[in-house]
Amino acid sequence: MYAFEFEKPATIADAVAALGGEEAQALGGGQTLIPTLKQRLAQPGTLVSLKGIPEMAGICVADDGALAVGGATTHATVAASTEYPGLAGLASHIGDPAVRNRGTIGGSLANNDPAACYPAAALGSGATIKTNTREIAADDYFQGMFTTALEDGEIITEVRFPVPEVSNYQKFVQPASRFALVGVFVAKYADGVRVAVTGASEDGVFRWSEAEAALSANFAPEAIEGLSVDADGMIGDIHGSKAYRAHLVGVMTKRAVAAAS
């Protein structure tokens, strides 16, 4: 590690002001950032903790029926919630208890790791990512591996999830990291089905539109028989080839639909 300043603002306005300083960086649960600092892959002059801001923590049902999750809410809190079972189930399998009790939903979405779980839930739910300045639809938010629509100094204050009729997340776990080798989130709404895939693509989380169309017509595992994603553009590494990940997308989608049904 190295020397840096540490600030713990009590309000969103104070956090925004602190992040306006030179070489300042936001700190959520620190589950990604702290190891990065230890390896000196990032060296901000000031860390601005978002964990002490009461208005950014907690879960409630909004007036429109959506589930509103504060950006500083931990994975463990989401896992213990009951309003959106598919989302709670996803959160309950993130990392291990230590990670779930420190990591935050806002930190995960801001980092946008290509194998993280929450991006699949946000995209699969058609969620809205609220910041200190605007609202961003999930379809517009994710812009590639570790890349989002967030601007410098912008903070995720809340994520709003429309609650579906049924949903489920299936994750093929990479055992060393507990990240998704491939994860698929399926959500059935009155106007159709959304399918979001994480862990598989070099471009990060994506929607599988062909599966969405088939499942909107017939919400059953057999509806996607014969469908497949193109292996080109999939991640290929020591844990699995491009073709293997492409195959897993179909397998995990079927499992998610069967579990949701």
For the chain, give every domain's residue range: 5-161, 166-260
Instruction: Put residue 204 in one of left, alpha, beta given phi > 0 → left and psi -120 to 50 → alpha.
Output: left
Check for a shared fold between 5-161 and 166-260.
Answer: no
pLDDT for res 143 = 97
Q: Which among 206, 189, 188 has a CA at the least distance from the CA of 197?
A: 206
* pLDDT reading at 145 higher than 80: yes
pLDDT for res 127 = 98
Q: For residue 234, which phi and psi values (nearest 5 degrees)? A: -75, 160
CA distances from 52 to 8, 58, 109 (A): 6, 12, 19
Q: How confident is the model at residue 36 (pLDDT cuts 50, 70, 90)?
A: confident
**Percent of the chain whose predicted confidence (pLDDT) is above 90:** 82
Higher pLDDT, 45 or 110: 110
* pLDDT reading at 226 higher than 70: yes
Radius of gyration (C-alpha) of the chain in whole angstroms:
18
Higher pLDDT, 111 or 25: 111
Fold of 5-161: 3.30.465
Q: Say if CB 160 and CB 62 are below 8 A apart.
A: yes
Compute the average pLDDT of residues 245-260: 98
Cα 20 from chain centre: 26
* pLDDT reading at 1 higher than 70: no
The amino acid occupying position 40 is R
Compute the average pLDDT of residues 37-48: 82
* pLDDT reading at 231 higher than 70: yes
Strand partners, 192: 189
pTM for the structure as a whole: 0.94
Average pLDDT, the chain: 94
The superfamily in CATH containing domain 166-260 is CO dehydrogenase flavoprotein, C-terminal domain (3.30.390.50)
Compute the average pLDDT of residues 139-158: 96
What is the token pair recorded at 191? 């106007």
Q: Say if CB 36 and CB 72 are below 8 A apart.
A: no
* Measured distance CA(209)–CA(1) in Å, rounded: 44
Indicate the SS3 state at residue 123. helix
pLDDT for res 40 = 80
* pLDDT reading at 214 higher than 90: yes
Compute the average pLDDT of residues 222-249: 96
Cα 186 from chain centre: 14
* pLDDT reading at 251 higher than 90: yes
Higher pLDDT, 27 or 111: 111
Q: Could you identify the residue written with the tokens 């779980």?
A: 117
Higher pLDDT, 197 or 29: 197
